[in-house]
Homo-oligomer: A and B are copies of this chain.
Amino acid sequence: MQEYRDIVVIAGIPGVGKTTVVEEAVKKLKTYKIVNFGDVMFEIAKSEGLVKHRDDMRKLSPETQKKIQRHAAKKIAGMAADSNIIVDTHISIKTPKGYLPGLPLWVLEELEPTKIVIIDATAEEIFLRRKRDNTRRRDDESLESIKFHQRYNIYLAASYSMVSGATVSIVYNKEGKILEAVKELTSILEQD
């Protein structure tokens, strides 16, 4: 049993297979609740009458987005009073104007995560999983670009760790070895 509530940020770029690994680990442990950061932001914006559809979120002014991010972080930190929390989010988001930080300072100050876990895979595996994935439309990204995003996320995660004191670890979700990834994630979650 853990003595302190855990707020664990779990991130991974599209195609690493994050959802499956996280859901399996939570099924095993039963003491974690998964919260999607983007969902919480959308609910807040909708309840305040700022947006109707999720696509409208990015049309909000930077100041409004910042306010909603902070609000969402506060709300999630509050949930940790009852349960350990896994925050499903992104270290960075690739946009036409560059890499946008998923957890800027004002989010980290409210959220105060205890652990940051990056789910990763080789760029080649990510590339192939994206090709195979027919349910979601994804832009074709080159191997080089995928590799840069993977490296860049570790640089950003280091700075998130400096601000929050959270530990940073990487769990590799190798092709055909999902149980190993689940085991590794479970073991990290179980650490005090």
Do A191 and B156 touch across chains, with their CB atoms under 8 A apart?
A: no
Cβ distance A60 to chain B, nearest Cβ, rounded Å? 11
Distance A39 CA – B35 CA, assembled complex (angstroms):
40
Looking at chain A's contact residues, the main secondary structure is mixed
Enumerate chain B residues within 8 angstroms of A135, measured Cβ to Cβ. Answer: none
**Is the C-beta of A169 less than 8 angstroms from some C-beta in chain B?**
yes
**Is the C-beta of A37 less than 8 angstroms from some C-beta in chain B?**
no
- 9-residue interface stretch from A14-22, A81-89, A109-117, A173-181: A109-117
Cβ distance A59 to chain B, nearest Cβ, rounded Å? 9
Do A156 and B158 touch across chains, with their CB atoms under 8 A apart?
A: yes
**Is the C-beta of A167 less than 8 angstroms from some C-beta in chain B?**
yes
Number of A interface residues at 8 Å Cβ cutoff, please give it.
40
Kindly identify which residue among B96, B106, B108, B167 contacts A97, using a CB–CB cutoff of 8 Å: B167
Closest to A4 in B: B62
**Is the C-beta of A1 less than 8 angstroms from some C-beta in chain B?**
no
A4-B62, A98-B188, A115-B97 in contact; A104/B165 too (CB < 8 A)? yes
Enumerate chain B residues within 8 angstroms of A80, measured Cβ to Cβ. Answer: none
Do A103 and B169 touch across chains, with their CB atoms under 8 A apart?
A: no
Closest to A155 in B: B158
Known contacts A98-B168, A154-B155; 9 further A-B pairs (Cβ under 8 A): A62-B165, A97-B191, A101-B162, A101-B165, A104-B164, A104-B165, A155-B155, A160-B162, A162-B163
Pairs across A and B, CB under 8 Å, 14 listed: A4-B61, A97-B115, A97-B188, A98-B167, A98-B168, A99-B169, A101-B161, A105-B165, A106-B165, A152-B168, A155-B159, A156-B159, A159-B159, A159-B162
